[in-house]
């Protein structure tokens, strides 16, 4: 019996290490899911503000139906997205649609002075900042998780338990371009 005590101790030690590693990766995985939920939450907030913005613009720019349709379609894409890639694509569509609204605003100076529009623009700007913060937090959390599941020996346990590398919420090349400002 005394011969088996060292073997039992080694097996208990290995089991303890496996459980500890599993728990660590599980917590990191949950952190990624939680961070993603916050990104979705802020994207939903923006999508909820869009109908109010569209309705305010409609009163001033009834014949700008293409712009309003583009915004509505972008909002629909945002609501139907489910993965970081789909959200990134929908986010790009939404940014393009919001740029189109800004063109309409330039065409209707009285719209810029409308209190409802100003309030919605301020809410939207605040929401855009929240999205940027939550996207940054999500990407940081994904980075921690990815480093953990790729680091040896955790990578062995993570691979056996089905923990794969997670994807970052990345912007497109078009969104990364610096806008041209022209005061002519």
SS3 118: helix
Give residue 119's Cα distance to chain centre.
24
Q: Which of 114, 111, 91, 110 is nearest to 101 (CA)?
A: 111
Asked whether the bond before 153 is cis by omega within 30 degrees of 0, the reply is yes
Q: DSSP letter string over 13-54? A: HHHHHHHHHHHHHHHHHHHHHHHHHHHHHHHHHHHHHHHHHH
Which are the contacts of 160, defined by CB distance < 8 A and separation ≥ 6? none
Predicted confidence pLDDT, tens digits, the chain (184 residues): 788 888 899 999 989 988 888 999 999 999 999 999 999 888 888 888 877 777 777 666 665 667 777 878 888 888 888 888 888 888 888 888 878 777 777 777 777 667 777 787 888 888 888 988 999 999 999 999 999 999 988 898 888 888 999 988 887 665 555 444 343 4
Which are the contacts of 72, defined by CB distance < 8 A and separation ≥ 6? 50, 54
Rounded (5°) CA angle 12-17-21: 150
Which pTM was predicted?
0.69
């Amino acid at each position: 019996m005394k011969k088996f005590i060292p073997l039992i101790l080694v097996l208990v030690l290995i089991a303890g290490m496996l459980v500890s590693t599993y728990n660590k990766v599980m917590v990191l995985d949950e952190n990624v899911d939680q961070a993603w939920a916050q990104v979705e939450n802020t994207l939903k907030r923006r999508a909820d503000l869009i109908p109010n913005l569209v309705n305010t613009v409609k009163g001033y720019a009834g014949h700008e139906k293409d712009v309003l349709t583009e915004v509505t379609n972008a909002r629909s894409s945002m609501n139907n997205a489910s993965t970081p890639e789909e959200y990134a694509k929908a986010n790009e569509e939404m940014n393009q649609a919001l740029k189109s609204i800004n063109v309409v605003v330039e065409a209707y100076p009285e719209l810029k002075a409308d209190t409802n529009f100003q309030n919605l623009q301020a809410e939207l700007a605040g929401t855009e900042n929240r999205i940027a913060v939550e996207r940054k937090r999500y990407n940081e959390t994904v980075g921690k998780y990815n480093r953990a599941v790729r680091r040896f020996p955790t990578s062995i346990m993570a691979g056996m338990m089905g923990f794969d590398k997670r994807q970052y919420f990345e912007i497109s090349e078009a969104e990364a371009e610096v806008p041209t400002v022209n005061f002519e």
